[in-house]
Amino acid sequence: MKLHVIDTGYFKLDGGAMFGVVPKSIWEKSNPADDNNLCSWAMRCLAIEDGNKLILIDNGIGDKQDARFFSFYYLHGQGNLQNSLRQAGFDTSDVTDMFLTHLHFDHCGGGIRYENSKPALTFPQATYWSNADHWQWATRPNPREKASFLKENILPIEESGHLKLIDPKAPSPFAQFDITYVSGHTDRMMIPRIRYKNYTICFMADLLPSVGHIPLPYVMGYDTRPLLTLEEKALFLDEAADNQYILFLEHDPVNECCTVKRTEKGVRVDRTFPLREIL
């Protein structure tokens, strides 16, 4: 089995929204903001190559939205989905499984493109994976998340016939990883725990966007159930510290991976490193 980091570029979000109740004077030490209070965030995905399988976990924001949409998010950086796949030696048609941790636009927007003004699958040979609870949550969005669940990113997957829904009560359908379900950020977000060599690599999605979010109170304003996020994060970080899990950070603008350790102040970062260090 081989792992490939897929860089789909960077975007900007309001720093206050990303850190919730934590004051700017504290969070900007780790995530400096620009003059508009916006911080840069990665959209870092992961491809798992295993035999005849190529599983892609999340796919970034995509490029099909209009200029007004992108004016809010300031896409930047050299990386994009197709080029990063090519650099890893793949084409979009090589992806067999498109695993979506959740259906917010910055995690699933690259999965649908426009062809002759009509929606088409970016990965035409792939099965697109979500779970039944989250799919219902995303396709019947609450007012708080409606702007994050864009129907043009979601509904064409089902219409294509390529959608497969995981039962959260059943074992993972993948031999390469188990799945942990968390519902503080959004309902039934999926956290893959990948078994690689002697490591457990956890794709953290929005449970832990960056190293700067490790202290428990550092919870995004975007989370629908912040107190539940606190509980879920505490349990996960304790387990990660005790078992030396490698945490793969989807949104950290600098650090690809980290480990954590217990301290007198609670669980804190141990060390940061690129994924290639263990490949």
pLDDT of residue 138: 98
Number of H helices, E strands in the chain: 8, 14
- Give the model's pLDDT for residue 107: 98
**Residue 69, φ and ψ in degrees, nearest 5:** -60, -50
Residue 207: burial class (beta carbons within 10 Å; 0-12, 13-18, 19+)? buried
Residue 231 backbone phi and psi in degrees, to 5: -65, -45
pLDDT of residue 117: 86
CATH architecture observed for domain 2-278: 4-Layer Sandwich (3.60)
Cα distance between residue 279 and residue 276, in whole Å = 5
Task: Report the C-alpha gap between 210 and 30 in whole angstroms.
Answer: 10
For residues 257 and 48, what is the distance between their CA atoms, to the nearest angstrom? 16
Which pLDDT score is estimated for 96? 98
Going from N- to C-terminal start, the domains of the chain cover 2-278
Q: Is the pTM here over 0.95, yes or no? A: yes
Tokens of 193: 């725990």
Quote the CA–CA distance of 243 and 235 in Å, as a whole number: 12
DSSP-derived 3-state class of residue 276: helix
pLDDT, tens digit only, all 279 positions of the chain: 999 999 999 999 999 999 999 999 999 998 999 999 999 999 999 999 999 999 999 999 999 999 999 999 999 999 999 999 999 999 999 999 999 999 999 999 999 999 988 999 999 999 999 999 999 999 999 999 999 999 999 999 999 999 999 999 999 999 999 999 999 999 999 999 999 999 999 999 999 999 999 999 999 999 999 999 999 999 999 999 999 999 999 999 999 999 999 999 999 999 999 999 999
